[in-house]
Amino acid sequence: MDVYKRLKIEFDSIDSTIREYTGNSFICNYLSKLETAIETGDKELMLYCLKAIDEWYIKNIDEIYRNEFEYDFDSHETTKALVHELYEEIQKAEPPASGLANLKSNLKTKVFISHSSADKKYGDAIRNFLVGLGLKNDQIVYSSYSANKIPVGVSIYDYLRDNINSNVFVIILLSNSFLNSVACLNEMGAAWVVKSDYLCFYVPDFDFSNLKHFQCAIDTRKMGAVLKPDSNCRASMIEFKDLMCNLFNLETDEKTSSSLIDEFFENIK
């Protein structure tokens, strides 16, 4: 059986075994991103997540056996061995073709970075990352940078109405300032109305208990990335890089993308 098909079949079992044992955000994040990697056919992200899960099991298996409330040790032993085996097999396998083909059938024309001006540092870092990947200035709408601003004399609401559509990918930079801005919430609503694809980034001090967060037009349960220079954010940026390359038909090598992520972390410190 094809190893990618096997991973897709076995994922639910891996996911449920671990989540029934722990709700730890670190490991649950990698499980969620592994599911995304399976759906998009992203070999690099699959390997990154499988390695993290494998290392988590190595570190925690003794504690699992000592846990007086855990009885299904066989499932953990089987899952631990399965994750390691899948990781080794996928390392040697050719990249899958189906996920990439499906994404490239829905190419985008522009990226709109919806943000509060108070979060310009993070918006600039995202904008620079996109340019580094190969996006042109006329493909980016970002009001805090002169080359990407909405044209002078054009109403922002008219511009959103005419330009935010299903061919535009929306990046929502969520912060407490964003949630307190009527203009930002209108941008979010415009993206939701036309069913644009979107991804959320969160500033490091974002208050996830903010009631306005739960009242947003977007699905707040959708996986996002907190902009902290840690392993979780690095995994998210790898996923984001692959998504942008696929949706905009860009090409970048591993060395370049790694340098861009390092530069991104420097810019958000």
Q: What residue spans define the domains of the chain?
A: 3-100, 106-268
Per-residue pLDDT reduced to its tens digit, 253-262: 888 999 999 9
Which H helix or E strand runs over 179? Answer: helix 176-179
Percent of the chain with pLDDT over 70: 86
pTM: 0.61
Give the integer Cα–Cα distance in Å for 240 and 90: 21
Give the integer Cα–Cα distance in Å for 68 and 48: 31
CATH value of 106-268 in 3.30.1490.20, 3.40.50.10140, 1.10.287.130, 3.40.50.1010: 3.40.50.10140
Per-residue pLDDT reduced to its tens digit, 32-46: 889 888 877 888 899
Per-residue pLDDT reduced to its tens digit, 163-173: 666 678 889 99
Give the integer Cα–Cα distance in Å for 24 and 220: 19
Q: Looking at residues 66-78, what average pLDDT do you find?
A: 84
Residue 155 confidence (pLDDT): 66
Between 163 and 26, the more confident residue is 26
In contact, 205 and 26? CB cutoff 8 Å: no
Mean pLDDT estimate for the chain: 85
Residue 68 confidence (pLDDT): 78
Number of other residues whose CB lies within 10 A of the CB of residue 217: 13
